[in-house]
Amino acid sequence: MPINLFSGPSFDTYSQARTDLYKDSPSKFHYDIDVNKAAGDFIQNKTNELLGNNIFSNVVGTAGKIVGAPLATLASPFHEGVQVVKENRMEPDSGILGWGKAFLDEDPFSTAMNRGIGVASSIPGFDKTKMGILINAYKKHIENKKQNFQNIEAKAKADAAAAAAAKADAAEQAQAQASQRQADQARISRAYREETGGQAGSYAPGGGSGAHAADASGSTYSDPFDPGGGEARGGFIDGTNRRRNYLDGGLIDFFRYGGFIG
């Protein structure tokens, strides 16, 4: 019965790992290393699948990984060269120069080294070697760099959203103020038109405009010529514009602040 190396549970596991790594790897470096580590694991798993899980199959599988590491390195440039044509990575009608440019764009020599290291990293104990420690540290560096970039990008989006919200809030407040000014102007215009003719409630002598029965807040002031006014002694709420009570200081204070002229 012929042996099909590219089927069975071990190959399915490798295929799924390759698919997941293609989607989730944080960089091409990670992908090249990890997918070829999965290929090395496939060599061991397939050997166990064919020969059983025993010392002999483990030795054969490990030997296959050791041989597979340099083979992956040597085969990689040829693989990239074929992929350039197969996947139409070169410019149309660009000839051999276009193929060469597309081939070099794939960074074939670094990729070859990474693939060899990836297979070697599946060999038991590799992670504890200097090369393994260096590779893992570099992978972590890339992951941190990518995370920092994502954090900066997220902060920029949050800042932009906050600025947009502040701008919208300012525009809403400006619209509300404009509406209030329009309403105040309408009241002032009506007062000039209707409350300056001498009738009751007008600003003519005896009209008594500006006063009314206390409302819910206790205020008895509603001067249409001063919308929103009517605070104590006619000033602002903070007291910066209140009229002085000259009774507190008698005639001295009265004349100090201008007397009848003032």
CA–CA dist 78, 120 (Å, integer)? 20
User: What is the reported pLDDT for 233?
Assistant: 47
Helices 95-105/55-86 angle, 10° precision: 140
Angle (nearest 5°) at CA 95 between 89 and 99: 40
User: What is the reported pLDDT for 124?
Assistant: 87
> What single-letter amino acid sits at 3?
I
Whether the per-residue pLDDT at 13 is higher than 70: the answer is yes
**Region of poorest pLDDT, from 26-35, 155-164, 182-191, 202-211:** 202-211
Mean pLDDT of 76-91: 87
User: What is the reported pLDDT for 236?
Assistant: 46
User: What is the reported pLDDT for 90?
Assistant: 84
Whether the per-residue pLDDT at 107 is higher than 50: the answer is yes
Mean pLDDT of 116-125: 90
Whether the per-residue pLDDT at 231 is higher than 80: the answer is no
- pLDDT, tens only, 141-152: 878 888 888 888
Average pLDDT, the chain: 78
CA–CA dist 29, 51 (Å, integer)? 33
- 31-36: Cβ within 8 A, 24+ apart: 32/111, 32/114, 32/115, 32/118, 33/114, 33/117, 33/118, 33/121, 33/135, 33/139, 34/118, 35/118, 36/72, 36/114, 36/115, 36/116, 36/117, 36/118, 36/119, 36/121, 36/122
Q: What percent of the chain has pLDDT over 90?
A: 25
Mean pLDDT of 108-120: 89
* E strand or H helix at 93: none
- pLDDT, tens only, 160-185: 999 999 999 999 999 988 888 888 88
Please provide residue 56's backbone torsions phi and psi, each rounded to the nearest 5 degrees: -60, -45
User: What is the reported pLDDT for 217?
Assistant: 60
Kindly report the number of other CB atoms within 10 A of residue 92's CB atom.
6
**Region of poorest pLDDT, from 11-20, 41-50, 163-172, 234-243:** 234-243
73, burial (CB in 10 Å: exposed 0-12, middle 13-18, buried 19+):
buried
Helices 9-24/28-51 angle, 10° precision: 170
Mean pLDDT of 95-113: 87
CA–CA dist 34, 23 (Å, integer)? 12
**Region of poorest pLDDT, from 60-64, 70-74, 127-131:** 127-131
